[in-house]
Structure 1
Amino acid sequence: MNDTGYNKQKYLGSKGLIAFIGLMNAFIPLSTDLYLPALPTMSSYFVSSSAITNLTLSVFFLFYAVGILIWGPLSDKYGRKPILIVGAIIYIISSVSCALSTNVYFLILARAMQGVGAGGITSVSVAIIKDCFSGKRRESMLAITQSISGLAPMIAPILGAWILKFSNWRGVFWSLAVVSIINLILTILYKETLKEEERYTGTLIGSMGRLIIVSKNKSFFIPTVIFSLNALPFMGYLALSSYIYVDYFHLNEQVYSYFFAVNALVSILGPVIYVRYLTNISKKIFPMACFGLALLSGVLVMSIGTLSPIAFVLSFMIMSLTCTAIRPFSTNILFEQQKGDTGSASSVINTLFTVLGSIGMAIASMPWSNIVVGLGILITIFSLAPLIGWYAFMKSNIPCIGIKDMDYKLGKDYVD
């Protein structure tokens, strides 16, 4: 573990730092799932089609992806804290703008800026873990923070529905502004974790160019793509979940929220199970086992998942468990491949996951004759692809720190 950051958080302390990172990782599910119950009401208020109103979701994700690409490299040059402060301020202003919107297109614009602010918060949160921890300790911290942030998608729709009982859709965005104000206060209390000697000293344009340098590192980029493929079926499920439970299985919205919460609970347990029981398993075999179980989940969803909502959730639960269990493992391994440029590496990881996840949502939303079978096909294909990809990567001559037993030296471009 590095000397900077974790042990020297005068105001936050060790537990406060972990909670702070967990809150920052929760910004995306809070920014999206919290106001899902309000979408029909918003369409009625703005007299807009559901397609136009839903742009508040897709535009948010698009600018979030742009944001993390920009903020990550800048945090390597200027430090984590300034980027967090700017990101939080942008998020607060845009959340207030969302709450005050009287026009759907102004709301879409405000959501775009909200995505930019969220990108700064999320990309830096992952980089802070790399600053402060290493080895198994880093895996444990990744598991803890990912489990904390996993609570957000479980409680956000329920909390959003509760807010709507006492307020209208504007209350949701006022709530997001309050969350971001709390995050800004914690940011002010947070002590910088990136050492001066580890910062990028080149030009501003040069700092953005680090994204290209990082992406040229095959030891980092290829496994990043492989691990990110899981985002397609996972995000596809989020896009289809309400239609599957409400329209396909004819459950009411309240019962749907229970099934959604059960799956979210399983997602929270994934990282915990890995750190507690699976860290000593072969690092070559563990990803193949996860991808293989996810493949089984896809086959089960296509076959017995169509029979009942219980059969569906039990079938998909395997995918949720393996997809989240592999995250602390994969993030730690990816950081091991890239010495330096942590912010840029974090940006690449988050951007790939976001972009591929958005593609997964689009594919899942296609007019399948049977949406459950369609989701099962998506799970099957994008579990088989990373399984084959990981096997081929392990057989290749490309080095991989911490997994392949071979001697090698990273090239200059990888560590500059």
Structure 2
Amino acid sequence: MTQSPKQTSHEIGTKQTYLGHKGLVAFMALMNMFIPLSTDMYLPALPSMNSYFGSSSTITNLTLSAFFLFYAVGILFWGPLSDKYGRKPILLVGSIIYAASSIACALSVNIYFLIIARILQGIGAGGITSVSMAIVKDAYSGKKRESVLAICQTIAGLAPMIAPIIGGLILRFSDWRGSFWTLALISLVNLGFSVLFQETLKDEDRYNGTLFGSIGRLIVVSKNKSFIVPALIFSISSLPFMGYIAVSSYIYVDYFGLSAQVYSYFFAANALLSIVGPYIYVKFLSNMDKKLFASMIMAISTLSGVLVMTLGTLTPMLFWVSFLLMSLAGTVIRPFSTNLLLDQQENDTGSASSVIGTLFTILGSVGMSLASIPWGNIVFGLGIIITVFSLLSLLSWNVFMKSNIPCLGVKNASSN
């Protein structure tokens, strides 16, 4: 992929005295784990939390949707601030907020206190994850960046696999509070990495305007049609997966009548196979025509939705297989979509990362809300969501490809 002079001047794999290249990749992978860990670890406990707090599933699910909503609000501001003040200060503040709020979650005395604590946890997580994407852009370029993204996303893919299993095991010895104590411990490890991390944003690349002006860069980035249009398309395509996150425990436990532990195995098995997605892309599909590649992946997701609506309603195994197609397609396209979006915005990397994260998170929250609607048949409802939004993203992508809006790396640049 053709790179601008500014990108090629970056030192590949910015030196880290304490972390080194492998340590930096491990750190970025850990940061990318925070969202699945923050949601998936306590999913097995959601049905029991309804009884514990005496609340409905709609209220209890606010601990998920409120987390994502304020996570989106958080990253909207953290990214631009990191362009002005650097990545490390934001990492430190975000990690401290996340650790403190995780402890508050574990000490919650009612569902509303837990929701407030989850809101603060989401804000702290926003500082961690928005900076992680910016660090990749700071330190790597070209094919190397795409490879590092694939490695980080593959490692981070372990989180959805192990989180519900850990959550299920915790329920054998503790209650839902144990998951949040575990998250507090993980956040302290991340804080240690943040202390050792050395700044990757060069002085000449920092935004030198006012604090208000740095927030205003979000508007500048959002006006870049080459960036914002594909960002919206990829965000729409990810919406159904967040719907699955919100209702997966109810599907396996309430709809199919499985135990919380067996549910965690199904959830983990889906994640285990999905983590090979980035590897499949880099190894076999990275040189494929990008227009056709994205269309193919979105078509597979649409097919998955149809299968979930039909076969997926019959048995837990058929549901698992039907949804796996959509889940795997999402991880296959992720290195390509992330790298493509970063390439469209030469400067204001933190702001671009914030916009990406905010779009994905807001539309993810919409997916959670839609999936939580009383559909009558919860599996059929999820299938409708997958089909409609996957098809919408497919149609939007093809319209975008036929438009006169440039797109570096797809329309007017060839892949290496």
Q: Which moved more, 1:44-53 or 1:229-238?
A: 44-53
* 1:16/1:239 CA distance change after superposition, 3 Å: same
CA distance in 2: counterparts of 1:395 and 1:365, whole angstroms: 36
Secondary structure in 2 aligned to 1:229?
helix
CA distance in 2: counterparts of 1:93 and 1:122, whole angstroms: 17
CA distance in 1: counterparts of 2:314 and 2:395, whole angstroms: 30
1:333 matches 2:340: yes
CA distance in 1: counterparts of 2:59 and 2:175, whole angstroms: 19
- Residue of structure 1 aligned with 2:210, choices 194, 203, 209: 203
- Residue of structure 2 aligned with 1:17, choices 24, 42, 66: 24
* Runs of 4+ in structure 1 over 4 Å off: 1-5, 40-50
CA distance in 1: counterparts of 2:276 and 2:413, whole angstroms: 34
Q: CA deviation at 1:166?
A: 3.0
1:366 matches 2:366: no
Letter of the aligned partner of 1:35 in structure 2?
Y
CA distance in 1: counterparts of 2:56 and 2:318, whole angstroms: 34
Q: CA deviation at 1:406?
A: 7.4
How many pairs are equivalent? 407
Q: Is the 8 A contact 1:229 1:386 kept in 2?
A: yes
Secondary structure in 2 aligned to 1:230?
helix
Aligned twin of 1:164: 171
Secondary structure in 2 aligned to 1:404?
coil
* 1:5/1:86 CA distance change after superposition, 3 Å: farther
Aligned twin of 2:264: 257
Letter of the aligned partner of 1:173 in structure 2?
F
- Residue of structure 1 aligned with 2:353, choices 346, 350, 359: 346
Aligned twin of 1:72: 79
Q: Is the 8 A contact 1:73 1:207 kept in 2?
A: yes
CA distance in 2: counterparts of 1:278 and 1:52, whole angstroms: 42
Q: Is the 8 A contact 1:29 1:153 kept in 2?
A: yes
CA distance in 2: counterparts of 1:406 and 1:170, whole angstroms: 51
Q: Is the 8 A contact 2:11 2:139 kept in 1?
A: yes
Q: CA deviation at 1:258?
A: 1.9
1:355 matches 2:362: yes
Give the alignment of 1:20-31 within 5 angstroms. Answer: 20-31=27-38
Q: CA deviation at 1:50?
A: 4.2
Q: CA deviation at 1:254?
A: 2.7
Q: CA deviation at 1:242?
A: 2.1
Give the alignment of 1:8-407 within 5 angstroms. Answer: 8-405=15-412
Q: Which moved more, 1:219-228 or 1:231-240?
A: 231-240
CA distance in 2: counterparts of 1:236 and 1:117, whole angstroms: 23
CA distance in 2: counterparts of 1:87 and 1:54, whole angstroms: 24
**TM-score for the superposition, normalised by structure 2:** 0.93
Q: CA deviation at 1:108?
A: 2.2
CA distance in 2: counterparts of 1:395 and 1:50, whole angstroms: 44
Q: Is the 8 A contact 1:147 1:268 kept in 2?
A: yes
Q: Deviations over 1:249-275 (max 9, x none)?
A: 333333222221121112211111101
Q: Which moved more, 1:190-199 or 1:301-310?
A: 301-310
Structure 2 residues not aligned, in runs of 5+: 1-7
* 1:307/1:171 CA distance change after superposition, 3 Å: closer
Q: CA deviation at 1:373?
A: 2.3
CA distance in 1: counterparts of 2:406 and 2:293, whole angstroms: 18
Letter of the aligned partner of 1:75 in structure 2?
S
Q: Is the 8 A contact 1:94 1:110 kept in 2?
A: yes
Q: CA deviation at 1:48?
A: 4.3
CA distance in 1: counterparts of 2:392 and 2:67, whole angstroms: 28
Q: Deviations over 1:340-396 (max 9, x none)?
A: 111111111111111111111111222223322222221111111111111111111
* 1:110/1:304 CA distance change after superposition, 3 Å: closer
CA distance in 2: counterparts of 1:84 and 1:133, whole angstroms: 19
Aligned twin of 2:5: none
Q: CA deviation at 1:5?
A: 7.6
Q: CA deviation at 1:41?
A: 4.8
**TM-score for the superposition, normalised by structure 1:** 0.93
Q: Deviations over 1:166-211 (max 9, x none)?
A: 3333332222111111101101111111101001111000000111
Q: Is the 8 A contact 1:4 1:195 kept in 2?
A: no
Structure 1 residues not aligned, in runs of 5+: 408-416
Q: CA deviation at 1:153?
A: 1.3
Give the root-mean-square deviation of aligned CA atoms: 1.9
Aligned twin of 1:411: none
Letter of the aligned partner of 1:234 in structure 2?
F
Q: CA deviation at 1:44?
A: 4.5
* 1:162/1:406 CA distance change after superposition, 3 Å: closer
CA distance in 2: counterparts of 1:3 and 1:335, whole angstroms: 14
Q: Is the 8 A contact 1:74 1:83 kept in 2?
A: yes
CA distance in 2: counterparts of 1:272 and 1:226, whole angstroms: 23
Secondary structure in 1 aligned to 2:258?
coil
